[in-house]
Each structure stands twice: as C-alpha cells, then as structure tokens.
Structure 1
Amino acid sequence: MQVLLISDPGLPSRRISAVKDDFEGLLREDFDASAQVDTCVETLRVQPDHQLELSTLDAIVADYPDADLVIMFTGIPRHTQRKPLIAEVLPSRHVAVVSAPTLGALSTRRRLLKIFMSCINQMLPVGQVAQKHRLPRWGEWTSSGTAGRRTLHAHTFTGGPRLVSGMTMANEPLRMASKLSRALAAASATGAFGIFYSSIWQMSHHLSTLRLISIGMIAIAIMVVWLISINRLWDRPVNERLSQVVFYYNLSTVLTLLICVAALYACLVIGILAGSLVIIDPDFMAEIIGRPHARFTNYLDIAWLSAAMGVVAGALGSSFDDGADVKNLTHVQRLRPRVYVAGTDTAT
C-alpha cells in the first residue's frame, strides 16, 4: 500500500510531519502488509463559493502515479449540511479530504491518526477494511450524493465550537502578536508616563480590583474593534447559504485578535511593572498614596492602569507592521488567493 499525504503549507504540513512515521507504522500493523507514506506540500484551490476545486487536486495527484490512496489535509474550514465537515471520501478517485480546523485547537496526534485510518478504511473494499481504529464519539460517516461519496460531519452541538477553536489556532494568534511591534512601541511610549505621574499612582490605588480589570478588558476590546475596522477584517456573506460559515470566520477573527491584543497587553504590563519597580521608590510611593508602606500590588495596579492607558491612547492609529501580515491573518484573507478561475489556470 502506498499512500500520499498532501498538506497545505503552514500548520497542516507541520502536523503531517509529526504523524507521518506513526501513520506508516499503523498501516503496516493493521493491514499486515508493506506500506509507504509519501508527503508533499501543495496549496489546494477553491471555487468562488469556497467549494474544493478537485481538478487542481487531480493535477497534484498526477505527479504521483504510484500512489494507491490519497489524503489531502487542508487548512480550509469546511461546512456542509449546516454542520462542520471533518472529512470527505471520494472512492472513485481514491481520495479523502480532511479539514484541519474542524479537528479543533488541540487536535492530538491520536485523533489525527484515527481520522486518517478511518479515511483509509472508507476508501478500501469491505473485505480489506481494518477494524482496530474506530472513529471518535463526536462524528459518524454517512453516504452523500452519488458515486459512493462519504462524509464525516461533526455533531452540531460540539462541532461548531471545535471548528472555531481550530480556525483560531490555525490563525496562529501569538505569532501574529509579534507583528504588532509598531502598536506595542506606541503603547509603551504612552503607558510609560504612568511611571512618572503620581496622579496615576493615586488613581490606581483608589480603584477597586474589579474596576481595574474592567478597564483592562475595555481597552483590549477597543483595540480589537480598531484593528478589525482599520484592516477591514469583518466579512459579510454574499448569500444566505454562506451566512453560518461567515459567522464562524468572523468569530475566529475576533478570538484571534483578542489573543493578539491580550498578549500585547500582558507584555505592556510586565514591561511597565519592571520599570516602576526600578524607578519608583517605595517610601515615596507610600507618601503619595497615603499608606504606611507600598506593596507589590500597588506597583501592579500602576502597571495595569498604565497599560490600559497605553493601549487606548497610544496604540489606536497603529496597525500591523506589514500589509502581508493582514492578508494572512484570517481564513477568508488566505482563501482569496486560492479562488480558481474557470477556463484559466490562475487564482484571484
């Protein structure tokens, strides 16, 4: 048995590299035969309605004539029949397509291997099916359409949150946070004033913990709304059929930016806290805020409030460091270059 694993660039290809050897071992063990797994990294195109363009997949497979079975592991979030589509098997083509985001943010190696083995079983004749590896409880195969097409949908209740978390993880929000260096510089310059102005010390001392947390959350929310609006990251469905899919896209965009900005905010708090511990004398602070002694929590309150001020006053007006970063931020942005134009060999 010779299996070809095709993966999209980025996170899908890294996951394939991590499980390739284990997958090959499972094939040999379960089918008691020699097995070889080849891998390649290719970008799968889509049609204007975001359905897979299978002709481009056929062109990729044509370069591997010895492959008996093909699994395409794509970063495209798939959604049909109002449910997240985990995998689709086309027996006539000996091809299975697995969607990485529908597996969730923490798709373990075991889960991924179980899906791959299940796809292999679905592509083989009944007498050759291996029974050792069964599906997880959150999905089941069903027949769909003609030519023996089989689909594996996630359950409606758990599939949606798992899809959104998987899309958010695929956006790699912590990596994107590093692309906000201009915003971090502007916020740091503004937030640093909190170290030198005693009025900020007094205000942070008299504010309750709940109010300080609320101020920080509001600052993060304002920054997220600004980034979405200035970079036009909010998408609208072109028709009613795509409304639920676009809702998932927008929700994952919001969650991605929340993690980005929260990481930025945490960096600001840590930086300002370190600066205040070095610069502000404890006795002088105690005199200003009217306490016998200054505590560590007083320094933390100053850093928290100063970071909120820096995010709101300093980072607004900033954006990502490079336009290319914005184009790769969300799933919709990454899908646009994949759209296949009929009658040509180009994408738009």
Structure 2
Amino acid sequence: MPQRNRMLPLWLHFAVDLLLIAFLTTSFYYAYYRLPRNLESENIVINRRNDNHPTYNDYSSENHESELDKDSWVVKFADKFTDSLISTEDSYTSPDISVKLTRNTIGSGKDTITYYLADIYIADIECLQTGFAKDTYGVGYTENVIDMHRSLSAILAINGDYYGNGADGTVIRNGIVYRTKADSSDICVLYYDGTMRTYTADKFDISKAAKDGAYQAWSFGPSLLDNNGGSLTEFPTSRRILAKNPRTVIGYFEPGHYCFVLVDGRDTGYSSGMTMSELSSLMSELGCKVAYNLDGGQTSVMTFIDSVVNRPYEGGRKVSDCIIIKERKNKK
C-alpha cells in the first residue's frame, strides 16, 4: 500500500525554527563572549605629566618640608595619613593612603537598605588603580573580585564596568588606551591630575581626553549627578536598570578624595537595593561632585583587607575587571 505524504504541522515548523535560532544565538554568544580570547588593544600609552602632588614618601620632612607644594595632596590631607601603616577591621592608614569603611542602613523591615561606604584619601593618583581578570585584556577572562584583590595586593577593591561583557565601550586602564570604540553609555574618566568627569557618548572625545591626561575610563553608567553635584531623577537607561538593584558606585569629591559605595540588594529584610534615583540622592547627600554607576546586580562586590565586605546577591559572580586602592610599588 503506497505511503501518503505527511507534512509537518505549520506550528511545528515554527517551533523547530525558533529552537534552531535560539541554539545558534546561544552558541554565538558563548563563543564570542564567554570563551577566553585576547582582544586586540589600541595600546596607546598616555604618559603622566609632571604634577604638583608629591607624596609623603617623596620627601623627608626633615630636609624637604619647604619643597612640598602647598596644594599637594599629602599636605592638603595631612590629617588623614599616618607616619606608619595602621590597619583595623574597618580602616587603613599609611603615609599615602587613608580608607575608612562604614556599614550603613536606611529604612526598616522589607524596605531596609544596607550600603557600604569606603571614604578614600590618597597622596598619589597611582594609589587608585584598575586590574583585569587573569591580568589579561580580553573577553571570557573572569575572576572573583577577591581573587583579583589578592593577586594585585589591594587594600580595597570593587568590581568595575565588566568591559569584557561587550565588544564596544571605551576602555582606558592605568594610563593605557585599550579600546576606543564607544557605545551609547555614559563614560567616566579619571585624569592623572585627580579630577573626574563624566560624559554622554555623543560629547566624549577620546583624543581630547588622552591629551588632557586620562588615566582611567569606564563605560557603563549612567552618570548619577548633574554638573553641580545635584541629584537626578531621569536617566538614559531601561526601566529594569532603574529599578531596585544591588549597586556599585565610584564617587569623587575633589582631587585625591574619592569614595566607593556598594549597595546590597534583592535580600528582603537585609537590603532591598536602590533605584537609580535613590542612588543619585545618596551620592549627592554624601557630598560627591561626580558619581558614576558601575556594573551592579550579582556583579556588585566590595573587598577590604583580604575579605569580602558585603553580601553579594547569590554569592556574586566572576567578572572581567576591578578598581582597587593599593600602595605604590615604586616610591621615590
């Protein structure tokens, strides 16, 4: 008896096509963003110009006190530094670095928010550095922040912008331009002179930033404050990002004075997280002139003196980069 041709139902064709598309998309994403591979770097070195910020260790107070510039950070913040290293569970001071860590809570019950503030003074800009996972610029290279903290001999660390999770976005780290291709994100630049500025993507000129002495640049955002340090209520990002989430922020008060803020979230009764508007208000209330939102959610982690400070959502995750405070290796 001859067999009759049987055609698959139309819905099954669609289902098979969708499964195939999903498989191919997932395979491409994994191969492009998850398999470790080095990225070609622009490798443009931005040299540090001579500045007027000698550190405590650049001079002995006995012989060179008169040579210290009155505006140098070591003089300006002299009451923050100590002649010798002093470390406690919530503070660290040395001739070049001062870090004071506090745990803070807002609200109560299910509305409780817990955040950690690291108030930072440095005598030299190179006490604030960045690091790559596996010490490699590329995609697919990830580590826990605490592991990068240890390998980089950091005192304090937070996650960065997770540059390795995408192909675009300006990347300048420790004075080297790795990637110039901008995306649509706000950009934050820390300059060698200690100033910090944020830019919308359409207003950012990487050539000018390099000429002006860019030392670090991150692409995530958004910028959290207006030009006068005031809070904002509108941000160029999606509703999902604007909602309550764990947060990581780098803040700027003035050259030599910065802060790291870590807001825990998605943990009812301990910390619900902050909306972007709440985060903006917090950074303004702290007195920051510039504040910039870094990667958050499960990425948000702060470490201090070899330990994880916060309670990362679901234990945190491995990331491509971090921002650290550390002693300079080569002191004059």
**Smaller-chain TM-score bracket:** under 0.3
Higher relative contact order (CA 8 A, sep 6+): 2
Larger Rg: 1
Q: Normalising by the residue count of structure 1, what TM-score does the alignment of the two structures yield? A: 0.22
TM-score by length of 2: 0.22
- Name whichever structure is richer in strand by fraction: 2
* Greater helix proportion: 1
